[in-house]
Amino acid sequence: MADSKDYVEWIKRAKSNLILGKNTKIDEDYLWNYIYYEDLCFDLQQAVEKSLKALLILNNIEVPYSHSISQLIDLLISNLINVPEEIYDAVILTPFAVRAKYPGDWIRVNHQEYLELSGITQKVYDWAENIINNS
């Protein structure tokens, strides 16, 4: 069993969610007729959350039981971790941790919004992975 305090394992899990959230390799008609963008955004949110938590663990900062992207960013900042301005864009993904998972409480996402959220997620993951690889 992987150690929950292992930042390498957290960044690997973030990569897994990133791949799942960006998995558009299946037949396009099937994908967009049967898979909700909101479900893909859940995985994008998870990729951001796990990337940030990997950085917290790397820096020996206690990881909260929270899905709040802004809370995780604030923790990094309060511990003197330099967070680039573009990483703040990821806070928009926080509601996908819970609200988008269930019918009736959806956050509707169109194709363009999905692409923007996917790009934001990729930036956060790349930033976190770069820090981890250089540590």
Is residue 11 in a domain?
yes
Is residue 124 in a domain?
yes
- Quick one: which of 110, 38, 120, 30 has its CA closest to 84? 120
Is residue 76 in a domain?
yes
What residue type is assigned to position 111 of the chain?
H
> Whole domain around residue 65: which residue ranges?
7-133
pTM to 2 decimal places: 0.90
| Terminal Cα distance for the chain, rounded | 24
Contact 48, 125 (CB under 8 A): yes
Is residue 104 in a domain?
yes
CATH code of the domain in which 54 resides: 1.20.120.330
Is residue 22 in a domain?
yes
User: Which pair of tokens denotes residue 37?
Assistant: 């963008």
Number of domains composing the chain:
1
pLDDT tens digits in sequence order for the chain, 135 residues long: 345 679 999 999 999 999 999 976 656 666 667 788 888 999 999 999 999 999 999 999 999 999 999 999 999 999 999 999 999 999 999 999 987 667 776 678 888 899 999 999 999 999 999 999 998
Task: Look at residue 1 in the predicted model and tell me its pLDDT.
Answer: 36
User: Which pair of tokens denotes residue 10?
Assistant: 């957290």
Is residue 2 in a domain?
no
On the CB side of 56, CA atoms within 13 Å amount to 24
CB atoms near residue 41 (< 10 Å): 24
Is residue 1 in a domain?
no
Task: Look at residue 32 in the predicted model and tell me its pLDDT.
Answer: 64
Q: pLDDT tens across 77-111, in order?
A: 999 999 999 999 999 999 999 876 677 766 788 88
Task: Look at residue 35 in the predicted model and tell me its pLDDT.
Answer: 80
